[in-house]
Amino acid sequence: MGKFSSIVLGAVSGAAAAVFLSSKKGKEVTARVNDFIKEVQENPEEFKEQVIHSAVDLKDQAVETVSQVRDKVNNGEITRETILTSVKETTKEVIDYSQDKFQAIKEKLQEEGYTIVDKGTDSEESVDSHDYAVTVGEEVAAAQDKLGILICGTGIGMSMSANKVNGIRASLVSDLFSAQMTREHNAANVLCMGARVIANQMAWEITKVWLASEPLGGKYAKRVTKMMDYEKTRI
């Protein structure tokens, strides 16, 4: 198990749909949905040109897709309500995926004898991933014998926020090779994963490889030192 016997965990839950859509971000999504419906109905040709411009190599497919969308909007198959329902369902999926992986990894780590410090979340209320990434990052940075694991929808936001904490080298990982290399070559002390990107079993395999790997030292240690020295110049 190595010297790292304490694992600090953090995973974003978040409230679900009704809470999300009543939040500032949710209201922004609702406004964009309304604009989308209005644009398709009032300016179908302009909408078609925008799609074609974004998919030059798929022009015929883009034209067909726009036509299908326009028809569905006109006949009522696509409405503001159906789009918002889809947003609600997607939001709930992110919550369920994150919590499911979080609990699965937590239980397996406990079975392996690791001491777990669970930093949440512990409810379905809407939260910001940044807060949990910083909380975990600060605890890991303050100790030499702790590593952190962060999980959100993609792992991207968590990794960005965690890396703002001095002393943290957070790595976003979705494969076994990267899990090994980021520890051996970069001495990563926080592992970030995307609940919507990898399956539960892969998340556990990545966690095992990451925890079993140790920094190699030598030229790699010099590179890590350069990285951390540069961090100090930005304070």
Active site residue 152: yes
First to last CA, the chain: 35
Helix (H), strand (E), coil (C) string for 74-93: HCCCCCHHHHHHHHHHHHHH
| Tokens describing residue 53 | 């411009």
**Has 192 been annotated as catalytic?**
no
Tokens of 24: 């500032």
Q: What is the dihedral of CA 137, 140, 146, 150, to 10 degrees?
A: -10
Q: Both tokens of residue 25?
A: 């971000």
CB 187 within 8 A of CB 220: yes
Which is it for strands 190-194 and 170-172: parallel, antiparallel or unpaired? parallel
Burial class (CB in 10 A: 0-12, 13-18, 19+), 131: middle
DSSP label at 166? T
Q: How far is the C-alpha of 207 from the C-alpha of 146, rounded, in Å? A: 14
Task: Give the burial class of 100: count Cβ atoms within 10 A of its Cβ; 0-12 exposed, 13-18 middle, 19 or more buried.
Answer: middle
Q: Residues with catalytic annotation? A: 152, 185
